[in-house]
Structures are given as structure tokens and as C-alpha cells.
């Protein structure tokens, strides 16, 4: 008999007991021997049912405890749970739980490193450029060796006895990466915070990752004067830059020129980066047989392929039609070096957006990015004007 059936039987028995008592009361007399016997038997049966239900409740508690003991939460799972709980508690005026392990600062509270790592992992997931780049985690100035074989290189040739071998070698220089402080801010509605069904941690991770992704891509590609060089800032004068004939258009031959700038050695992992508007214009280009140059890619990661290589669209690349600006990047982007000097620090701002019924979450890090291997990446720059 299951729990529901036991409870129903107990209710029926209790009604019978009450019926026996009510009959005696209505006749203004004490229960007779038969009624007492029936009453005692029913009472005994009810006690047996109660004992059975109690034992079942104990077993259920033991089973739950057994399951909970079996699965030990990881530090990341503890931090994720603590993070969401902490923010909701603070917003609602509940005292902070000391088990959350969030460090209190003057500006709010510092989120555990595991949450910051989830943000970086998400940036890697949604930004192929950031994922492809060679990333260094170091403090201070980092000097990355740069081998230049454009003017001279190691050679192998036939040798003749007693004749001197001529020494040839490339030139070594260094690419120095320092660190520039960057920050991203996202706001969270307090109405959302009070919704227990709302996945607060995922929301913060995704929002912060989107903001850092946009900034990282913009700086890694275009750089900023006197700050991060990025790819554009690493190509002041080089044969890895292709200048297009026109400002607003591109030809199939020019696309081939861009691709052929990269040696075959580095073509394996090469792909294109451009603005979606530029991709739209390239989609309309056809070869002499009327076939489109840009085709649908039959894989999960990329939507299109151009000349056999994947195309990634970033809104941080200038549109074709922007005079003298880099409008297309192509190559193996492991040639880009990214230095993250400082582990990301995330803080909760509780008071700043109080009048907006919101709280802020701000992230700080240090970043620098330069090309460490110029032979891996090519840049296409729009022409200054359009031909008449």
C-alpha cells in the first residue's frame, strides 16, 4: 500500500472512530463493550499506519541525505551558487552569508575568480579571433622574439671542399607587450534579481562576455593610438598589406592577392575577418563561369567560405567604403599575441544605479595585443577614392 492509500485508509478509520463516539454522545450514554472493542481496534490500526508513515518519512530523509553526500559540489559550482545568492541577498537587505567567500571592497564585492574565468571562457567561445590568438599570462613587460626572414634567411646549398660556407640567417627583433587597463560595465534590473527562476550567473557571464568580446576584437584588429597596437598598428609599412584599387568595391583578383600574401605554410588554419556589409558585397561576386565566389559552409562553426577558407564577421571591422581603412583581415591569427597582465577582477556596484532600480557589475583587466609573426596575417586597406 502506497503513502496515498495509507493516508486515505487512516482518514476512513478516523471517521469510523468519530462515528462511534457520536452515537454514544447522541444517546447520552457511555460506549458499550462492543463499541469500546471496535474503538480500540480502530485506534490501534491508526497508530500502526502513523508508525508506517513516520518510518517512510525517515527513509526519505535518509535517501535525500545519501544523494546529497554522494555528490560533492566543485569549487566552481559553489562559487556560482554563492555569487547569485550573495547579490540577491544584498539587494533584498539580507545579511551576507560568510560561506560565499566574496571579498568585500570599497566599491562593492569581488566575484570569485571562477566566475571571471567563465567570462573569459565565454569570450573564447564567441570570438574566433580571441580564441585563435596566442595568449600570454604574464606581469610586467613581455618581450616576444620576432624572426624576420624577408631580407635574409638560413640557406642550404652545395658545398665544395676547402671553400668557405657563406653564412646566412634571418634577423631577430622583439615585440614588446605591456598592459593597458580596460573595463566593462553591465547593469542588472533588480526586478530580474528578485526572480528566483532567473539564471543570474549565466546572465552576468553572457553580458560581460559580449562586452569584452566587442572590445577585444576592436582593439586586437584596429588598435588605438598610443595604446594597444593591434593588427593594424603592427603594419605601418609591410608587404603583408594589400591596398585595394577602390574605396567601395573589391574584385575577385584582389581577394586572391590578399590570400596569396600568406605563405602556404600558414594557410592551414587561415580564415577571413570582415564586416557583414563587406561580406554582402563579396557574396555578389562571380567567376567567369557565373559561380559565386562566396559559398555556404557545411559545418557548425562557420556560415560561409571564401576561396575555400571560412569567413568570420565582426562589427569591429570597418565596412568596405571607408577610405584608407583596414576592411579585410586574412591569415592564421595565432600570429597575434595577446598579453593579459592581470587576472580579470569583477566587482558588484550596489549604490551607483540605485535610482534606476538596478545594480552594476563591472569587470577590470589589463590587455595588450600586437602581431608577433607578420608572415601569418595580411590586411586589406580600402582605396582612398572610387575610380571614375
Quote the pLDDT of residue 98: 41
Grid-cell match 580564415, residue found = 271
Q: Which three cell numbers stand for residue 71?
A: 555528490
Quote the pLDDT of residue 277: 94
For residue 146, the cross-strand partners are 173
Quote the pLDDT of residue 197: 54
CATH code of 205's domain: 3.30.2400.10
Quote the pLDDT of residue 362: 80
pTM of structure: 0.66
Domain that holds residue 294: 74-388
Using the 3D structure, point to which of 21, 40, 70 is the last residue of a domain: 70
Residues 65 and 191 in one domain: no
Quote the pLDDT of residue 256: 93
Residues 89 and 62 in one domain: no
Quote the pLDDT of residue 180: 83
311 in Cβ contact with 305 (< 8 Å): yes
The residues of the chain scoring below 50 in pLDDT are: 94-101, 105-107, 168-170
Residues 64 and 79 in one domain: no
CA distance 102 to 84: 11
Residues 353 and 285 in one domain: yes
Quote the pLDDT of residue 246: 93
Residues 219 and 363 in one domain: yes
CA distances from 159 to 152, 154, 164, 167, 168 (A): 19, 15, 8, 12, 14
CA distance 85 to 381: 50
Quote the pLDDT of residue 339: 86
Residues 41 and 116 in one domain: no
Quote the pLDDT of residue 97: 46
Domain total in the chain: 2
Q: Which three cell numbers stand for residue 138?
A: 604574464
Residues 264 and 278 in one domain: yes
Q: Which three cell numbers stand for residue 154?
A: 638560413
Using the 3D structure, point to which of 70, 99, 119 is the last residue of a domain: 70
Using the 3D structure, point to which of 70, 100, 121 is the last residue of a domain: 70
Residues 38 and 86 in one domain: no
List, in order, residues 6 or more apart from 172 with CB less than 8 Å away: 145, 146, 147, 148
Residues 48 and 159 in one domain: no
Residues 38 and 84 in one domain: no
Quote the pLDDT of residue 177: 74
Residues 134 and 32 in one domain: no
Residues 173 and 40 in one domain: no
Quote the pLDDT of residue 245: 92
Number of residues written out for the chain: 388
Amino acid at each position: 500500500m502506497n503513502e496515498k492509500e495509507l493516508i486515505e485508509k487512516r482518514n476512513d478509520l478516523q471517521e469510523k472512530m468519530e462515528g462511534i463516539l457520536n452515537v454514544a454522545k447522541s444517546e447520552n450514554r457511555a460506549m458499550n463493550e462492543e463499541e469500546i472493542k471496535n474503538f480500540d481496534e480502530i485506534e490501534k490500526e491508526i497508530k500502526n499506519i502513523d508508525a508506517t508513515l513516520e518510518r517512510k518519512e525517515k527513509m526519505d530523509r535518509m535517501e535525500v541525505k545519501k544523494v546529497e553526500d554522494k555528490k560533492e559540489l566543485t569549487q566552481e559550482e559553489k562559487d556560482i551558487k554563492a555569487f547569485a545568492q550573495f547579490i540577491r541577498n544584498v539587494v533584498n537587505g539580507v545579511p551576507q552569508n560568510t560561506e560565499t567567500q566574496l571579498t568585500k571592497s570599497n566599491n562593492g564585492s569581488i566575484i570569485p575568480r571562477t566566475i571571471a574565468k567563465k567570462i573569459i571562457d565565454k569570450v573564447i567561445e564567441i570570438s574566433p579571433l580571441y580564441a585563435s590568438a596566442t595568449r600570454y599570462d604574464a606581469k610586467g613587460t613581455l618581450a616576444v622574439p620576432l624572426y624576420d626572414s624577408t631580407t635574409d634567411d638560413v640557406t642550404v646549398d652545395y658545398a665544395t671542399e676547402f671553400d668557405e660556407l657563406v653564412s646566412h640567417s634571418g634577423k631577430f627583433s622583439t615585440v614588446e607587450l605591456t598592459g593597458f587597463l580596460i573595463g566593462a560595465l553591465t547593469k542588472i534590473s533588480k526586478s530580474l534579481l528578485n526572480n528566483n527562476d532567473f539564471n543570474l550567473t549565466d546572465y552576468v557571464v553572457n553580458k560581460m562576455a559580449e562586452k569584452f568580446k566587442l572590445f577585444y576584437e576592436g582593439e586586437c584588429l584596429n588598435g588605438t593610438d598610443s595604446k594597444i597596437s593591434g593588427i593594424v598598428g603592427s603594419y605601418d609599412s609591410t608587404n603583408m598589406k594589400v591596398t585595394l584599387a577602390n574605396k567601395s568595391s573589391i574584385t575577385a583578383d584582389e581577394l586572391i592577392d590578399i590570400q596569396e600574401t600568406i605563405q602556404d605554410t600558414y594557410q592551414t588554419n587561415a580564415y577571413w575577418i570582415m564586416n557583414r556589409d563587406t561580406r554582402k558585397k563579396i557574396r555578389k561576386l562571380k567567376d567567369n563561369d557565373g559561380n559565386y565566389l562566396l559559398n555556404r559552409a557545411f559545418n557548425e562553426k562557420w556560415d560561409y567560405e571564401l576561396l575555400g577558407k571560412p569567413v568570420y564577421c565582426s562589427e569591429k571591422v570597418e565596412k568596405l567604403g571607408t577610405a584608407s581603412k583596414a576592411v579585410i583581415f586574412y591569415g592564421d591569427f595565432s600570429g597575434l599575441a595577446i598579453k593579459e597582465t592581470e587576472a580579470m577582477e569583477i566587482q558588484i556596484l550596489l549604490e551607483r544605479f540605485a535610482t534606476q532600480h538596478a545594480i552594476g557589475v563591472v569587470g577590470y583587466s589589463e590587455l595588450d595585443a600586437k602581431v608577433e609573426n607578420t608572415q601569418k596575417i595580411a590586411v586589406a586597406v580600402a582605396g582612398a577614392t572610387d575610380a571614375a
